[in-house]
A and B are shown apart, each in its own frame.
Chain A
Amino acid sequence: MGWLSSLAALFPLDNLGHYFHWHFILISRANLIVIILMVVTFLSALFLPFPGRRSRKENQ
């Protein structure tokens, strides 16, 4: 379980979170990371090729 403890040390959860503050926008780093990941996933889903799509088109 040693490697698990060292992994947990990378993400300390027992202190105050970091916040970004810009004018009226106040957002935690964790929430901002999740939103960025969702946008990246959305764009990847639009542009990454889907496995087998080419062969299906050729079959038609």
Chain B
Amino acid sequence: MSTSEIDRQWTTRLRKRVEGKLPPEKMLPDTQPTYVASWIYVFGVATLSSLIVVIGTGCILALRGPYWWHGSAYGHFVNSLHLWSVELFFFTMVVHLWGKFFMAAWRGGRSLTWMTGCVTFFASIGAGFTGYVSQTNFDSQWISTQAKDGINSGGVGAYFNPLNLGQMLMWHIVLLPLAAVVLTGLHVLMVRVKGVVPPFDKDAEVGE
């Protein structure tokens, strides 16, 4: 195979593009700009850490099932870890969102970073909702019967039915976590490609 043929292959072109946009020193940097040394920049990583605990505890719950998480002390403990890591996930994500909103974090060609973050937020709300209706207790019964009217008023009840436990559980453990994890991965990659957004005064200094 000639060199020109190798250069035309999609694998070669993709590799060169990735190498150009995201070299290893940019993917895993050794240092960060001075302005990142602020508590407001901590909440993105805090959200990511919470998500790891959410996914880990969710996997354990999936392995053992509802009888276990309702009926044993260890099950209650893991169930509580899953709930409270979700609470922490949303708490830190909202503070991260406020921080980035007031920084106008979409500056400097970071619109895709901002948009992947927004869509991840909405996917996470869906994952949280389907989690509440998948608990298999009186709480989930109450929430699903209340929610069905809202969903039906939007005309999507035939496709997304909160009273259908099997459907809600599949959304909760397959589709929405997949969306949240893939989008979070893209979001982090975009942060690595474009870098952490600078404060406004730093932005003015570099003339962006």
Whether the Cβ atoms of B38 and A45 lie closer than 8 Å is yes
The answer on a CB contact under 8 Å between B34 and A38 is: no
Interface residue stretch chosen among B15-23, B91-99, B114-122? B91-99
**CA A48 – CA B42 in complex, angstroms?**
12
CA distance A41 to B42 in the complex (A): 12
The reply to whether A45 and B37 form a contact with Cβ atoms under 8 Å apart is no
A50 CB, min distance to chain B CBs, angstroms: 5
Q: Does B68 contact A (CB under 8 A)?
A: no
CB distance from A34 to the nearest CB of B (A): 7
Number of residues of chain A lying within 8 A (CB) of chain B: 15
CB within 8 Å of A: which B33-47 residues: 34, 37-40, 42-43
Contact between A52 and B39 (Cβ–Cβ < 8 Å)? no
Once the chains are docked, how many angstroms separate the CA of A23 from the CA of B43? 34
Query: A50–B43 Cα gap in the complex (Å)?
Result: 13
Among all A-B residue pairs, the 10 with the closest Cβ atoms: A45-B39, A53-B37, A45-B40, A50-B37, A42-B95, A50-B38, A42-B98, A41-B95, A38-B94, A48-B39
Report 30 cross-chain contacts, Cβ distance below 8 Å, ordered by A residue: A34-B91, A38-B91, A38-B94, A38-B95, A38-B98, A41-B91, A41-B95, A42-B40, A42-B95, A42-B99, A44-B39, A45-B38, A45-B39, A45-B42, A45-B43, A45-B95, A45-B99, A46-B38, A48-B39, A50-B37, A50-B38, A50-B39, A52-B37, A53-B34, A53-B37, A53-B38, A56-B34, A56-B37, A57-B34, A60-B34
